[in-house]
Amino acid sequence: MENIIEVLKKAIGENNVIENEPMSKHTTFRIGGNADIFVTPQSTEDIENVIKIAEKTNTPYYIIGNGSNLLVKDNGIRGIVIQIYKKYSDITVNGNEITVQSGALLSTVAKKAMENSLTGFEFASGIPGTIGGAVCMNAGAYGGGSRDGFFFFYDFFNSKRILVVYQHTGFV
Ligand SMILES: Cc1cc2nc3c(=O)[nH]c(=O)nc-3n(C[C@H](O)[C@H](O)[C@H](O)COP(=O)(O)OP(=O)(O)OC[C@H]3O[C@@H](n4cnc5c(N)ncnc54)[C@H](O)[C@@H]3O)c2cc1C
C-alpha cells in the first residue's frame, strides 16, 4: 500500500492523495469509515493516471462525486476512492454550448445556464450532486432529467469523448 501511495503522489501531486480518509467527511449523511486511499484528481490526465495505476496494481477503485447518494459502511472502503468534485469542476460557456467537467455541481451549472439565458437545465438546480453523479444516477426532478441528454462526457475507461445533444433547449 505504501508503494502505491508514493506512485500516486508522484503522478497527481502530494496534496491530492490522502491515506485513511474518513468517508464521513465526504458523504451528505456524514457516515462511513475510512477509505484506504482518497484521491482528488485535478485534470483529465490525473484521472486517467489514477485509473491506470489502480488497474496495473490490481487495486480496487471507486469514483464518487459530492457523496449525496452514498451510504458508506462503518468499515470503510478498501482500495482507492477517486473524488471527482471541486478540483475538476470547470464550466465554460461558448454561445449556446456549455462544457463542464464532471465534478461541477448541478446547481452551479444551472446558475451558469441562467446567467447566459440558456434554458432547459432548470430541473437540476435543486439536486445536490455533480454532473458525473447525475449521469450515473440518471438524476432528475420536476419532470426533467439527465436522460433528456447531456452535453458530452469523457469516458475514462475507454478514453473516448462522447457527445450527447440536449434535445429541446438552447443546448447543442
Ligand atoms: C437532500 C437530497 C435531495 C436529493 N434530491 C434529488 C432529486 O431531486 N433528484 C434526484 O435524482 N436525486 C436527488 N438526490 C440524490 C443525489 O443528489 C443524486 O443521485 C446525485 O445525482 C448524486 O450525485 P453525486 O455527485 O452526489 O454522486 P455520489 O453520491 O458521489 O455518487 C453516486 C453514484 O454516482 C457515481 N459517480 C459519481 N460521480 C461520478 C463520475 N464523475 N463518474 C462516474 N461515476 C460517478 C458513484 O460511483 C455512485 O455510484 C438527492 C439527495 C439528497 C441528499
Q: 50-95 pLDDT, tens per residue?
A: 999 999 999 999 999 999 999 999 999 999 999 999 999 999 998 8
Q: What is the mean pLDDT of residues 138-161?
A: 65
Whether 32 lines ligand 1, by a CB cut-off of 6 Å, is no
> For residue 99, what are the β-bridge partners?
92
Q: Give the residue, by CA position, lying nearest to ligand 1 atom 11.
A: 139
Output the CA 138–ligand 1 centroid distance in Å: 9
Q: Are 64 and 70 in contact (CB under 8 A)?
A: yes
Residue nearest to atom 9 of ligand 1 (CA): 140
Give the span between the Cα atoms of 20 and 131, in whole angstroms: 26
The per-residue pLDDT for range 118-132, each reduced to its tens digit, is 888 888 999 999 998
Task: Say what the pTM is.
Answer: 0.91
Spacing, Cα 119 to ligand 1 middle (Å):
22
| Rg, Å, the chain Cα set | 17
As a whole number of angstroms, the distance between CA 111 and CA 91 comes to 11
